[in-house]
Amino acid sequence: MSDSEISHFIQAGQVKVGDIVLIREHPCKVLKITKFKTGKHGASKVCFEYSVEEGEIETWIGLTQNQIQLMFKDDSCSSPDVQTDEN
């Protein structure tokens, strides 16, 4: 199975909690998502907290329209941990 069969690119704003995405050339599981609405000086942004190794959590922040490589979509998450910052 090639990488193209198990991964594809989507907009960062479409990533869900539990998805496995490629960040800095490493597969990472998204643990928490915070979305920031469009502000006075720019586009809306998204912040992912993700696990790199067991017990190690890092953060990625980018525009919701940025393309990110989705390795695996976890459809078993019934209640996503997504927060929206109204400020």
Asked whether residue 82 is domain-assigned, the answer is: no
pTM: 0.71
Residue 86 lies in a domain: no
**How do residues 26-55 score in pLDDT, each as one tens digit?**
889 999 999 998 877 788 999 999 998 777
- What is the pLDDT averaged over residues 81-85? 52
Please give the Cα distance from 1 to 84 (Å, whole number): 37
Q: What is the pLDDT of residue 46?
A: 94
Hey, what are 68's tokens? 């990110």
Residue 79 inside a domain? The answer is: no
- Boundaries of domain holding 63: 3-73
The enclosing domain of 28 has a CATH number of: 2.30.30.30
Residue 2 has pLDDT above 60, yes or no: no
Name 11's Cβ contacts closer than 8 Å, sequence gap at least 6: 64, 65, 66, 67, 68
47 within domain boundaries: yes
Residue 84, domain member (yes or no) = no
Taking a C-beta distance cutoff of 8 angstroms, is the pair 30, 85 a contact? no
Domains in the chain, number: 1
Q: Hunting for tokens 């479409």 — which residue is that? A: 14
pLDDT for the residue numbered 1: 44
pLDDT at position 82 over 90 = no
